[in-house]
Structure 1
Amino acid sequence: MIGQPGLLQIAASRMYINPSLQAKLENSERMLKALLNNLDGMVYCCLYDADWTMVFVGDGCKQLTGYDAQAFVSSEICLEAITIPEDREPVNKAIGDAISNGKRFAVEYRIIHADGRTRWVSERGCPLYDDNGEVEAIEGFMQDVTQRKLSEVAARDAEERYRSIFENALEGIYQTTPDGHYLNFNPALARIYGYESAVDLVCSISDIQQQLYVDPDKRQEFITLMNVHGQVSNFEAQVYRKGGEIIWISENAHEVKDRDGKLLFYEGTVEDITERKNYEQQIEYQATHDALTGLPNRTLLADRLQQYIGIADRYTSKLAVAFVDLDQFKLINDSMGHHAGDELLKIMAARLASCVRESDTVVRLGGDEFVLLLTGLHKIEDISESMQRVLSSVAGPCTIEDRDFVVSCSIGISIYPDDARDTTTLLKYADSAMYKSKQSGRNNFQFYTDELNQRLMERLDLEYRLRLALENEEFLLHYQPKLALVSGAICGAEALIRWQPAGESMISPASFIPIAEETGLIEDIGLWVLHEACRQAVKLNRLYGRELPIAVNVSPRQFRQSDLVSMVRSALLNSGLNPACLELEITESSLVHDTGSFIKTLQELKNLGVGLAIDDFGTGYSSMAYLKDFPVDRLKIDQVFVSNLEAEPSNIAILKAIVALGHSLNMKVIAEGVETAYQKAFLLGIGCDEMQGYHFSKPLHMDTFGKLLSDSCLKN
């Protein structure tokens, strides 16, 4: 070290030092000197005077400044002289303020190296005090931090360049969390989404999946691709702009992870591709749609038909292909000209489209030929009803050039998978059936399969006869007794409608009730059952001297009638029946429609004094949350849980649960469909209150039921 005598020299001039101690001190001094010289920087000590006079400078000075330590100690050069002029005042102030406050200081500034280059240094130090507590000197340490400072400057410059690109890019740039929140984005993204500023966008969109994407599932698709590939390319989706306008965007993005591979965020770009998509859609539309009517054309037919076949396979449903040909088109086209013919085709196209559902497709093959694709069908009746609408709609008068025309059509139908399993054959069969329709007199429809035609005719005949059955008084009621399980006594009966045409076999309710529901005839039939059951209940009560509750089924369609309560009130008044002797059974499926209105109607019926039961319980979709609010007296367990009890022991838990539920809500529980002694014994064992079924009695004619009542009374 340079600048002052060694510590051992000062001590030797003042006192005698033990040779052993002196050797240790000299060794310590050598170690300290070696340590200071090996530091990557300069150690110094200077007086706290106006010139900051150096009294000690380490050997690191040469590498740091380019000057020898002696030059600083002898004051040939001072540190302030090699400090960049504009840095001198800030440095002196920082050091002065720290010393005034008795604190350590740390400053960074620039110096001119002996080779003429500018270097950045970091200086840290602290004051040394004399015996009076005054600052006597400063000791410190200086390091060359040029490389770090240059890196920081480069980083700032790069950040500024990136910021400029980020702020001025035409593409939207963003960073989002995996759960759909924006972390950062540029002004272009806000403009693409219709927002005036970044603040406006942040305040408006807090959930990208729900608030941005038109199809919320697209966000999950985006994340799935990210999870698999770590990036997405040209990801196209529709999004909402601020005002509700829908645009198309294309995204390119990738995952950003930390050093441990943990996902931090997604980073990507957004481009508005609405103009391109609209152009593509226009070109595609023109290629796949008829220019005159706007309907899908022959090009799209095969694709749609193949799609619908896939849907039918997936959901085990049927697909109908209906070939429609206008009967009088050629005559009108030839006599009135092509302009009138075109107008007629446009009118008919609109009518055909109005006759089908959104899930179906109407295609114009060319000329006056159309094809209807009807999906999701399960019954022949669904098809026939649609075709009846088509025939009726097409046959309506239409006005062209101030003249009225009436046009009919002939329709041929093939069914997938019944008739064929490929598109070509389905179309061929439908075309063949259409010619069969024309040969049958036009203005009708024909199925390719004779069996289907026969079934249709039978159904139409049954519907026609059903409309006359009330007028001809062909309906009657049978009664199935209900048995109290504990006492074994008859505790009521269910009134069941039967159809007995004169001179024919009885027609099963399973055959005509669905038709009655579909056509709306169930409303008139149900009203007849209600009045007849009340009238006969009064008669039964008078004959056998006891009041026996009679249950009447109310269909979902009946239950939705606005005047149901007044109809029940009228039936009670006209018959004189005690309301307590009437029980209305409402199927659980009725609950699917407007539960609030359902409860209101139940309460109004209950106010009349009649009993209420939920029929087929366990097979519908009733909410347990609402069940507690129903003013219901009984739960009727559907026979599906009872009839196979021996073969399906898994039903045991369901039956126990329903009984427990009913009793917890102060309702009686009745099981229907009881056919064996085992079933009866089991139901009795789990606390079920009542039963009905063939084990005790099938539904009986009123006279037979009356005799059973008499016998029961004698036994009891």
Structure 2
Amino acid sequence: MSNLAAPTTHEGTDAEPRIHLLDTLLANMEGMIYRCRIDAQWTMEYVSAGCFELTGYQPQDFLLNSRICLEELTHAEDRAYCRKVIVDALANHTRYVLEYRIIKANGEVRWVGERGMAVTDPASGDTVLEGFIQDINERKRAFEALREAERRFRSIFENAVEGIFQSTATNGYIAVNPALARMYGYESPQHLMAELRDIDHQVYVDPGRRHEFLRRMEEDGVVLGFESRVWRRDGSIIWISENARAVLNDAGEVLFFEGTVEEITTRKQHEEEIRFQATHDALTGLPNRTLLYDRLEQAVFQAHRHGNYLAVVFFDLDQFKYVNDSLGHQVGDRLLKTVASRLKSCVRDADTVARLGGDEFVLLLTDQASEDSFTQTLQPILEKVATPWLVNGVELQITCSMGVSLCPADAADADTLLKHADAAMFRAKQTGRNNFQFFSAEMNSAINGRLEMMTKLRRALGANEFTLHYQPKLQLATGKIIGAEALIRWPQADGSMISPAQFIPVAEESGLIIPLGEWVLQTACAQIRAWEKAGHAAIPVSVNISPLQLERGNVVDMVTRTLAETGLAPQYLELEITESVVMREVEKSFAILEQLKALGVKISIDDFGTGYSSLSYLRRFPVNTLKIDQSFVRNISSDPNNAGIIQAIISLGHTLNLNVLAEGVETEEEFRFLLENRCDEMQGYYLSKPVDEEAFVQLLPPSDA
């Protein structure tokens, strides 16, 4: 053979074709066939032509290890391993199989696989090794890549935060990861699979969930975001979300399900908290307007269906405002919680006690056999609520007024029932409080009047039907007009005016006072600038700030924006805030007044003397003027009490370096009294009633006066 390392012996002419054929076959094989001696150097006696492609060396380079021996090609780290495997195989008279690295002639490292065995040469009787070496580098790389992928998958499976599983429809889990075992409260995946065989009942709190899981798998082959409550091993319950798919065989039959499990208990708790907050009052924990309305609609439906009676009771505490104003909101909140508890104790579990806001509650009394039965429920509520309670060592007693509308007698829908109960509650207030009144038809007129006024107000705002009148302010010491108060007016097409006493309460009740107040501020500031541009002396104009504007806390932004838009210097704007409003939330009011003062505008306390200001609070507030309420100015010459109060307010104001203004001055006697007692300013009909801007401009002094 041409690649034999030793001379060949020809067995006549018949053997030559066979030798040539064998030589050709060996040369065409991918890999190297060898025969070597069993000695320290594995001396080669025969190497096939495939050795060149495998190693980069020619066959004659290995002949009797003339240039290189095979062990020298073997990677240094693999030589000891290769020799040991071969030696062990020789000792055990077995074949040997090896995988190791070689270094080719060009320095490239390749993986090879070798198989061989010891054979006895019949000619010499010597034992030699015959074997085959093949390049397995690509297979080895593919295997290593597969093993790395498997390692990574196993790492993901073992270390995943989410639970991973494989399960069957009837035989429980066939594979789970540690995360799922921990999630369900088991020591290990093996422990879980051994104990947890009945998924229907051992996993799902509601066994119907397993049926739903299988139904979706059968229909779609997948479930996504499947949320359920499940048992843990210790009996506690958690929420989970599953994503899974069905794994099929070639015939389309389900082999098993595989998927992931995420615990969502915390998220579900948060969702429940959000739902509770959306449907319950934060202070008392009672249902709020949203939940009340939902329950009321359901109760109306049931009342119609079964022919039972339903009552909606609108409940309002009497004089609750004075508790807040005199004792503070913290005491007021404690009172509201106490009332909520008392109301719940007076009704059945099937009834509803809801809080709409402030001191307004609604009772929903359902499934009553007759109208008379409601009276038996309401009278004990009046008595329970009026039970005295102790706060800060003081015994307080507060009563309530209730209005009742009945279904189906008074209305057959939720909205009308609430509206009628509200009207009946106002009637209870009007009839002396601490009572309940059932709705009657004549109460509708009062409701319709308020609704009609609210509708007209909205339309008037959109149509810009309002105007401002200005009442001048007089400096008593000089007799000069030094300012004005802007007052809103609502003229009608027939020349009449709708009194502010009629529409302002409705605007405050409906929230329309917010856009209305902003319109007044914008219009007044623009008018002052117009007077300036026309050459008149610049004077400050005061604008009233409503309680709702102050409570919402956006007054500072509104004033800042208005000054910027109109270009008015801030010293020409004065904001009037009533004393009682300021005292509702002292710290909040103080912070807002500080910010307004920082803008450069002036602040006055309106209706001073009617609220509950203390000297300590008054000293803190950044105000410029105290306005004496007109109720103290009336009959000032004949009522010594009023005269004394005014003298005290003037003295207090001057002590605090505040300007003092008396409003509602109508007579010469009132004017003289204020002048003699050194009151700084006044306004009222004695000087001028509120007039439109054309008439007011006639009262203004020229700019050089």
TM category, shorter: 0.3 to 0.5
TM-score (norm 1): 0.47
